[in-house]
Chain A
Amino acid sequence: MNRYKISHPDAECLLQYADGELPSRQAVHVRAHLEACWRCRAELEDVQETITEYVRYEQTVFDSPPDPPVPWNGFGTRLERLIAERQNRWSHRGIALVKAILPNRRILATALAVTIVVFFAFVELRHPPAVNAAELLKRASEQEVKAVHHPRLRIKTKQHTFVRTGIVAANRSPEAEAERQLGSLFVEASYSWDNPLSATSFAAWRDGLRDWHDEVVLQGTGDASIYQIRSSTRSSTLEEATLNLRARDLVVESGTFRFRSREWVEMTALADEPEQAAAPRPATALTRAPDRQPLLQPSRATEELRVIAALHSADADLGDQIELNRDDAGKLIVTATAVAPERRAALQSSLSSLPGISLRFRDPKIDLSRPNEPQDIEGRSSTVETTDGLQLKLQLTLGGAVGLARFTDRVLEASEAAMVQVHDLRKLAKRFSPDVELHFDRNNRTVLERLRHDHAQALATKTADLRDLLLPVLLSLGAADSEAVEQPPTPPSWQDATEILFAAAQRLDQNLTRLFAGAGGDRPAEVATQAERALKQLNVTVGWYEHRY
């Protein structure tokens, strides 16, 4: 057999081969092919060299990492303290007592084993097999791994009831605000807010607890029976969490969460609507690189591009409140959530010239009986007590706490406006990958280019605003005027360039948070310098992007 005839392994296959991750049968084929094919061998060598270079880079950066502030031997003391704490617990005293009574530990072990066997035999006869929480969660998590699923959630708190659809970015509705607040509660308790109604998230939270108590109850009979897992703890701000899983397939149906702050939350998974199949991930997941998206068919891509362009002309870009999906039959559906009645007509007319598009409006139920209290800037005392050096300095520069609060709001608003544009660009890049674009005719390319240009231009204006606003303050904080920032290396496609842009925007965003969230501590000048550099970098990157692509 001519070994060369076997098709060339793709890049992923080659890397897996180099990493010893291919199943042995496949590896044998690849090896045989490599022996015969110079081209693939050269490819593989190049991959290996890249790996070598990366490893060298890691070694340079991390082989002797900077020393931590405190010597490591402090760990021993902490471990001893932990052991002492745990030994004082009654369970240990109980064991010690039994040990004292039964000097022969072998007998103790046998006795224990016999007791356990008898107990379980008894339980087995009377009840269905008892399941412990850890085991159940493990099985349910395994199910979840097989089918990653982010259902829509109905979330009920003391004050609000709403449906979580994943549309949060830059949304200032009370619903979004409530969701954000709720999110921070979960995050504070080390409980995943990305996908709260899942056994995996529940298990991760439970695994991180220092102390906990589990209860597992099987309710109902037959197909309708439900496992209820309840874990409570004293060591987390989330004091008690309950998950209800369908016994037949261990899918999580609902859950309740009780926080130390007396807040409680009830969540129910809603059945999927067809157009939800491609629902965007929640905003909290924006920082993650999304999984590979299936390639769009050219005709579909054209259709979607037209809709996006039409929506853009009506000032309704995807993401904020507007979703674009397909139903099972492949028909395009635009879903507009919480759009004011007066804007609906504009949306409708923008899409009227496009055939076969259905436009749906959705209004999540929001309990407005207790609106959020408005932030009373004027009411804040003029000097807010803070020991943070950076915050003090900011207050001094900007005229007290009121001035600082106003300034912070303006900066965050400007940065949010810039981020919205970056996200829009990124969405375009993701939807219309280079492969998809390849199939576009000239007309489509022009439409796409115009869309991109509009966003890039808007972004340039917003970042310039941000710079004008921020730079004087950063310099007065003692930011060193950093050296000129280089343009990033130019990647082959604008889609890749968008990722670079996104990274620069993210870095600035992160620096701003550090600046205003009081994490700057006693090194205001350093924090300001870093923010200044990130600001400069973003401005340069935006200019480069606008000019190059």
Chain B
Amino acid sequence: MGTQWIRGEVRAEVLVGLRPQRANVTIRDLVTQAFAEWHIDVYRYALSMGLGTATAQEITQESFLRLYVALDKGESIENQKAWLFRVAHNLALNLRAKENRFGPWTPDLEERYVDRCANPEQALLDREKLRHLQRAVEGLSEQQRECLHLRAAGFRYREIAEIIGIKTSTVSEFLKRAIERLRKARHE
């Protein structure tokens, strides 16, 4: 149901009686709430696609603005989170195509986040393990990495397929291959 949202600032009082619980929700509230809930997830996703912080932030904000426009136009969006990720995905691809760069993870991320363990020996081990895994992850294809990231973010195969624009069976295939590769790497 997408028709319950009335355009812009016009409050949804028309529907009082039909859906009293939604009576006072505007699209602005809705988008603001969605932003509060998901903006870090979308931002992470953009970062995981190899974008810098500034571009990732821009893409994140733009996605939510587009959500506003879409809802304001009366479009019905069943799964807003997946919708946002799909828009972010497309924006990220376009931006990268424009800059003609298709980068994997930002390489410095690893250095940035490893040393946060209390026990130095454990930290060393962890760091080594992490590096090993990161190498394996970097050896995956970009779409395999995206599938992994989105799965880890809690999306179902069907949703992932919708976000990246591939078939559900392909998502399953990508995930299988990715996990197989990571498994092999673990046992090396």
Pick from A50, A65, A91, A210: contact of B44, CB under 8 Å = A65
The docked-state distance in angstroms from the alpha carbon of A137 to that of B175 is: 29
State whether A82 and B13 are in contact (beta carbons under 8 Å apart), knowing that A62-B47, A503-B138 are contacts in the complex. Answer: no
Q: Are B44 and A106 in contact (CB under 8 A)?
A: no
Q: Are B156 and A21 in contact (CB under 8 A)?
A: yes
Residues of B within 8 A of A19 (CB): 151, 157, 175
State whether A58 and B135 are in contact (beta carbons under 8 Å apart), knowing that A69-B57, A99-B10 are contacts in the complex. Answer: no
Q: Please tell me if B180 contacts chain A, counting CB pairs below 8 Å.
A: yes
Q: Are A68 and B66 in contact (CB under 8 A)?
A: no
Q: Are A75 and B139 in contact (CB under 8 A)?
A: no
Q: Are B65 and A12 in contact (CB under 8 A)?
A: no
Q: Are B53 and A69 in contact (CB under 8 A)?
A: yes
Q: Are A75 and B186 in contact (CB under 8 A)?
A: no
Q: Are A65 and B47 in contact (CB under 8 A)?
A: yes
The docked-state distance in angstroms from the alpha carbon of A62 to that of B148 is: 13
Q: Please tell me if B19 contacts chain A, counting CB pairs below 8 Å.
A: no
Q: Are A51 and B179 in contact (CB under 8 A)?
A: yes
Residues of B within 8 A of A74 (CB): 61
Q: Are B167 and A207 in contact (CB under 8 A)?
A: no
The docked-state distance in angstroms from the alpha carbon of A232 to that of B168 is: 32
Tell me which residues from 159 to 188 in chain B have a Cβ below 8 Å from any Cβ of chain A: 165, 167, 170, 172-176, 179-180, 182-186, 188
Q: Please tell me if A72 contacts chain B, counting CB pairs below 8 Å.
A: yes
Pick from B139, B184, B186: contact of A499, CB under 8 Å = B139
Q: Are A15 and B172 in contact (CB under 8 A)?
A: yes
Q: Are A95 and B7 in contact (CB under 8 A)?
A: yes
The docked-state distance in angstroms from the alpha carbon of A68 to that of B185 is: 33
A interface, how many residues as a size bin?
A: 35 or more
Q: Please tell me if A16 contacts chain B, counting CB pairs below 8 Å.
A: yes
Pick from A49, A51, A190, A489: contact of B185, CB under 8 Å = A489
The docked-state distance in angstroms from the alpha carbon of A106 to that of B17 is: 10
State whether A289 and B28 are in contact (beta carbons under 8 Å apart), knowing that A60-B113, A513-B101, A514-B101 are contacts in the complex. Answer: no
Q: Are B57 and A70 in contact (CB under 8 A)?
A: yes
Q: Please tell me if A188 contacts chain B, counting CB pairs below 8 Å.
A: yes
The docked-state distance in angstroms from the alpha carbon of A66 to that of B10 is: 38
Query: Which residue on B lies nearest to A91, using beta carbons?
Result: B7
Q: Please tell me if B124 contacts chain A, counting CB pairs below 8 Å.
A: no
Tally B residues with Cβ within 8 Å of A. Answer: 88
State whether A204 and B142 are in contact (beta carbons under 8 Å apart), knowing that A57-B134, A62-B47 are contacts in the complex. Answer: no
Residues of B within 8 A of A60 (CB): 113-114, 116, 130
Q: Are B157 and A21 in contact (CB under 8 A)?
A: yes
Q: Are B103 and A510 in contact (CB under 8 A)?
A: yes
The docked-state distance in angstroms from the alpha carbon of A106 to that of B12 is: 11
**How many Å from the CB of A190 to the closest CB on chain B?**
5
Q: Mark A487-503, 1 if CB is under 8 A from B, else 0.
A: 01101100000011001
Q: Are B90 and A519 in contact (CB under 8 A)?
A: no
Q: Please classify the interface of chain B as helix (H, G, I), strand (E, B), loop, or mixed, using the class held by over half of its residues.
A: helix
**How many Å from the CB of B172 to the closest CB on chain A?**
6
**How many Å from the CB of B3 to the closest CB on chain A?**
12
The docked-state distance in angstroms from the alpha carbon of A66 to that of B35 is: 18
Q: Are B151 and A210 in contact (CB under 8 A)?
A: no
State whether A109 and B14 are in contact (beta carbons under 8 Å apart), knowing that A21-B156, A78-B65, A187-B97 are contacts in the complex. Answer: yes
**How many Å from the CB of A545 to the closest CB on chain B?**
13
The docked-state distance in angstroms from the alpha carbon of A492 to that of B135 is: 16
Q: Are A68 and B54 in contact (CB under 8 A)?
A: yes
Q: Are A75 and B182 in contact (CB under 8 A)?
A: no
Pick from A79, A108, A506, A530: contact of B65, CB under 8 Å = A79
Q: Mark A235-275, 1 if CB is under 8 A from B, else 0.
A: 00000000000000000000000000000000000000000
Q: Please tell me if A548 contacts chain B, counting CB pairs below 8 Å.
A: no
Q: Are A289 and B143 in contact (CB under 8 A)?
A: yes
Q: Are A288 and B90 in contact (CB under 8 A)?
A: no
Tell me which residues from 39 to 96 in chain B have a Cβ below 8 Å from any Cβ of chain A: 39-40, 43-44, 47-48, 53-54, 56-57, 61, 64-66, 68-70, 72, 75, 87, 90-91, 94
Tell me which residues from 163 to 220 in chain A have a Cβ below 8 Å from any Cβ of chain B: 187-188, 190, 200, 204, 207-208, 210
Q: Please tell me if A353 contacts chain B, counting CB pairs below 8 Å.
A: no
Q: Please tell me if A83 contacts chain B, counting CB pairs below 8 Å.
A: yes
**How many Å from the CB of A458 to the closest CB on chain B?**
23
Q: Are B142 and A288 in contact (CB under 8 A)?
A: yes
The docked-state distance in angstroms from the alpha carbon of A393 to that of B9 is: 51
Tell me which residues from 409 to 436 in chain A have a Cβ below 8 Å from any Cβ of chain B: none
State whether A53 and B186 are in contact (beta carbons under 8 Å apart), knowing that A12-B176, A15-B172 are contacts in the complex. Answer: yes
- 18 pairs across A/B with beta carbons < 8 Å? A11-B176, A50-B179, A50-B182, A53-B129, A54-B179, A57-B133, A69-B54, A72-B39, A83-B9, A106-B14, A106-B17, A188-B98, A190-B94, A207-B70, A489-B132, A500-B139, A514-B99, A514-B101
Contacts A15-B172, A65-B40, A82-B69 supplied; 16 other A-B pairs, CB < 8 Å: A54-B137, A57-B133, A60-B116, A60-B130, A61-B105, A65-B44, A74-B61, A79-B35, A86-B69, A92-B10, A134-B75, A207-B70, A208-B90, A288-B143, A491-B184, A530-B107
